[in-house]
Amino acid sequence: MENKQRREFLKKSLLGVSAAAFAPGIVSAATNSDLSGQQDLMYRTLGKTGLELPVISLGTSNVNNPNFIYSAMDSGIRLFTTSSYYREGNNEVMLGEVFKNRPRDSFYIATGSMPDGVDHQNGVFTKPEAADKFIADVEGGLKRMGLEYVDIIFLPFVAKRESVFFEPFLRMMEDFKKQGKTRFIGIASHSYTSEALRAAADTGIYDIAMPAYNFRKENTGEIEEAIAYAKNKGMGIVGMKSQAGGFWDKERTLPINSKATIKWVLQNENITTVLSGMSTVEQLNQNVTLMKDIKLSDQEMKDLRLTSAEHVPGLYCRQCRQCLSQCPGNYDIPTAMRSYMYAYGYQHFKHAKETLGYANIPKNVCENCTECTVNCAVGFDIKTKMQDIARLNSVPDEFLYV
């Protein structure tokens, strides 16, 4: 009876989209991949690092099959990104099993951790002592991967200029490099992106920036100017969040053309490589083809609705933050909307719940408002989405695993 009730709960709840959604990324054991011909892949140079990279790299957060990593390597992928918080460090363990069988100069690895004390709503860091935990996480990751050093360490959730120049983290990142734990250091930014890019370039110590950049961004011109500013100061640029939610609708019946989204990003020649969260052989095949030809066709432009006056809100929050001053509850709407996208767009429920936790959204969110006063720039029904995603807080963590 208990099992039946649990199944019924899953069917009716936010997580009832698919039982397979709870499983880690499962792929075929494609060790004998027929993908070849790396010579004709497109490469770009990652700023002053001098690293020559194919225009697509692999974000490994959804991969738990080492055979997929082998196939990606054999297909020409050079840069792999991980983090100590991906599967509580088990992602690093899996990668370590692969790396020990490959020459160290045959791949590049980037890592990082989730910094404590991030004020997502205001875009600043608040805990100087959080550097100690970040250091321990990164050092633990090196051990889990069996590596003496990584090629890049990223500091995520860098936003306002104040966060870039936050002294404890700035010196921590500089020390990683001095101590030989990494060859290069970088920032990753989801919000206040233009400000973060310019500030990182102004520090004079950062080698790389990884901004959220896609066709759904409202202020692409401003971001592109900031990217060019950072590039002109020698920084390498890695694009992330290119998929813009993956679907136009929460029911996942209208997929966004993923090939077109990556091509759109790569039209910007200041972007060296796009981080793709692929986890299936089909996705890998598609991306290998794309790495040989990034021309954006008229049909792909139509697929992205770039040539249409039709407006579809989609699932991607632009993080413009215009909603914050409009909300009488002072809720961190942008962070909650990122959680909504992770849940419904990507079915990354664990990550969605973690992200929602940063927003501190109460169970009774929006109940005191009979009518929402927030006029979302994208067109989201904020109250409905906020109350929908808030239910995730009530789902036990055990439901987020196989």
pLDDT in tens, 64-116: 899 999 999 999 999 999 988 887 778 999 999 999 999 999 999 999 998 99
Q: Which of 250, 279, 303 delimits the end of a domain?
A: 303
Q: Is 343 among the domain residues? A: yes
281 and 322, same domain (yes or no) = no
Regarding whether 327 and 288 lie in a shared domain, the answer is: no
If asked whether residues 293 and 386 sit together in one domain, one would say no
β-bridge pairing 182-189 and 208-211: parallel
**For residue 326, is pLDDT > 80?**
yes
> Are residues 348 and 232 part of one domain?
no
Last residue within a domain, chosen from 303, 335, 366:
303
Same domain assignment for residues 57 and 129: yes
Is 309 among the domain residues? no
Q: Which of 81, 126, 129, 137 is nearest to 108 (CA)?
A: 81
| 67: its two tokens | 């055979």
Task: Measure the CA–CA gap between 162 and 72, rounded to whole angstroms.
Answer: 38
Would you state the pLDDT for residue 308?
59
Joined together, the tokens standing for residue 264 give 């759109």
Angle at CA 267, nearest 5°, toward 263 and 273?
70
Per the structure block, which two tokens stand in for 85? 């918080």
Lowest mean pLDDT among 145-159, 179-193, 320-334: 320-334
The answer on 227 and 360 residing in a single domain is no
Domain that holds residue 203: 31-303
- Residue 15 placed within a domain: no
CA atoms within 13 A on the CB side of 374: 27
Per-residue pLDDT of 338-357, as tens digits, reads 999 888 988 888 888 888 88
User: 227, 200 in Cβ contact below 8 A?
Assistant: no
**Residue 17 within a domain:** no
Same domain, 223 and 346: no
Residue 347 lies in a domain: yes
Residues 195 and 109 in one domain: yes
- Whether 228 and 336 share a structural domain: no
Helix (H) or strand (E) holding 196: helix 193-203
> How many structural domains does the chain have?
2
Residue 40 has pLDDT above 90, yes or no: no
Assess if residue 85 is contained within a domain. Answer: yes
- Same domain for 355 and 277: no
- Asked whether residue 21 is assigned to any structural domain, the reply reads no
What's residue 87's pLDDT? 78
Note the maximum CA span of the chain. Answer: 64
Q: For residue 199, give the CATH number of its domain.
A: 3.20.20.100
19 within domain boundaries: no
Residue 309 has pLDDT above 70, yes or no: no
